[in-house]
Structure 1
Amino acid sequence: MTMADARRVADAAAASDRQVFVDMFDRFSPAHRILFEAAHSGTYGRLLELELELRTPLLWPGYDLGLDSIALDVMHGDLDVMHGDLDVLTRVLEHRFGDGQDLDSAVIEYTSSGTRTLKAEGPQNYAAMIDHVLTCLRGETENEISPSSVLDTLALTLDIHHAIQQRTA
């Protein structure tokens, strides 16, 4: 995929009378929703640091995760979260996600008075994304996962992918 390909898809979607959705399920994770809501409401002030730690048990038989695929296949969703407008938190929020078997997640809030775990509750990523698509199709909300909404993040992901490819060539 190239940025030119992605722009053609976004342009075709914009010119169409149909709704087009991109699989950006991380935007709907309960833990990320806590982060987005805090950012948009100004709960903590300005973001000083964000740490996302990805651990995957590689539950896909036959899939070979390597440097040739990690940016596009694994990092893109986290880059999308970081690339959003999360510049309004002052406390450090650390995401902890399950090991693939236990899908619970939490946000850990670090402050000068200690830590506090915020339970990330709500529908899991895919269920929430499907609910979003259905509400869009019923005309009840605006599409948050249109092809144009991912172009900036895709450019960043492709830049990282190309940099990794150059270093490993």
Structure 2
Amino acid sequence: MKIALLGTNFGQAHAAVYAARGDVEAVMFGRDPEKTAKTASRFGLASSTDTDAAFEDPSFDLVDICLPVPLHAEYVLRALDAGKHALVELPLADDMGDAERVAEAAARSGKHVFVDMFERFIPADRVLFDAVREGTYGRLEQLTLWNLTAHLWPGASLGLKALPLEAMHSDMDIITRTLGVPREATVTTVERDEDSGAIEAAFRFDRAAARSSVSSLMPKAWGARGGYTATFEHGVLDAASTMGFDGKPSGIVTAYTADGPHSLDLPPADQYTAMIGHVLDVLRGEAENRIAPDSVLDALRLTLDLDRQVSGPR
């Protein structure tokens, strides 16, 4: 399988996964010849600055889009028009109209579109999803999610204008998958400067509540940490993890019930390897697409609502 990987920044997280597999061939595309070649060579990939070839070359099966958010929907639609499958970094779009057009086009196309909802593949999150689906501890009553990070990615802004789409979208997906669409959302913000800030968002449901806390105010020594506390009728799941650019978090989940606390065994997996593995399984006909565009619309709508509350209309 041959993959056109668009983007030399966050595309590196995907490149590392492709480089470790022996069943795919990936070519990295970028605008700057020197940077693109240098970055691609780190992973043993070929490189190109001819982006049109990613769509026009019939040898490419999948276009992997790791470009700035405003380009996501446009490039997915271009891939579908060219008869290619597409994998796009989250969020699918920064406009609901564009996202819905992509979902509709994907449904008509006969091709697969995947949105990198990587949190669905994090073992600790899968424990939560399974507990809600199976009713292991009864009804979910309260969910608190937190993600506190230092500036670990040089040149990337983590200010109030960036945090909703860049850092909170995954939390919104977890909330909508476990509790549905909230009746009300309220937001409080803290801004240190244009690249550093914090957001506290609270959500009200019938007989349940949720909260998402994100911050880029942490010192370098803190690194990046996150987790959740999920309170059910008959128990609590508490998760904590450390995360980095390599996409390989370490984490633990503890269940608290009437029998006392006990740690849950988590499989040794990282989200990007698992996500791309799922994409390739689907394209080989070995799995059903679990990250299709229509599955992310509720979370994106909630994320964009937060974004408007924080920054105003885009």
TM-score normalised by structure 1 residue count:
0.89
Q: Distance in 2 between matches of 1:33 and 1:27?
A: 7
Give 3-state SS (helix, strand or coil) of 1:27's partner: helix
Q: How many residue pairs get matched?
A: 166
- Residue from 236, 240, 250 that aligns with 1:96: 240
After superposition, the Cα gap between the structure-2 partners of 1:58 and 1:119, relative to the gap in structure 1 and judged at 3 Å, is: farther
Map of 1:119 onto structure 2: 265
Cα RMSD between the aligned structures? 2.0
Query: Greater shift after overlay, 4-13 or 79-88?
Result: 79-88
Q: Distance in 2 between matches of 1:52 and 1:106?
A: 15
More strand by percentage: 2
Is the Cα contact below 8 Å between 2:118 and 2:272 reproduced in 1? yes
Is the Cα contact below 8 Å between 1:75 and 1:157 reproduced in 2? yes
Deviation at 1:120, TM superposition (A): 2.5
Q: Distance in 2 between matches of 1:99 and 1:57?
A: 11
Q: Distance in 1 between matches of 2:232 and 2:107?
A: 33
Bigger Cα Rg? 2
Q: After the TM superposition, list the runs of 4 or more consecutive aligned residues in structure 1 that deviate by more than 4 angstroms.
A: 86-89
Name stretches of at least 5 consecutive residues in structure 2 with no aligned partner.
Answer: 1-93, 181-230
2:127 partner amino acid: I
Q: Which structure would you say has the larger RCO, counting Cα contacts within 8 Å and 6 or more residues apart?
A: 1
Q: Distance in 2 between matches of 1:20 and 1:35?
A: 25
TM-score normalised by structure 2 residue count:
0.49
Query: Greater shift after overlay, 62-71 or 95-104?
Result: 95-104
Identity %: 47
- Residue from 294, 298, 303 that aligns with 1:148: 294
1:13-58: CA deviations, max 9, x gaps? 1110111100110010010111112222221111122222212233
Q: Distance in 2 between matches of 1:138 and 1:15?
A: 20
After superposition, the Cα gap between the structure-2 partners of 1:99 and 1:24, relative to the gap in structure 1 and judged at 3 Å, is: closer
- Residue from 112, 116, 133 that aligns with 2:279: 133
Query: Greater shift after overlay, 94-103 or 59-68?
Result: 94-103
Map of 1:84 onto structure 2: 177
Is the Cα contact below 8 Å between 1:104 and 1:120 reproduced in 2? no
Name stretches of at least 5 consecutive residues in structure 1 with no aligned partner.
Answer: none
After superposition, the Cα gap between the structure-2 partners of 1:99 and 1:143, relative to the gap in structure 1 and judged at 3 Å, is: closer
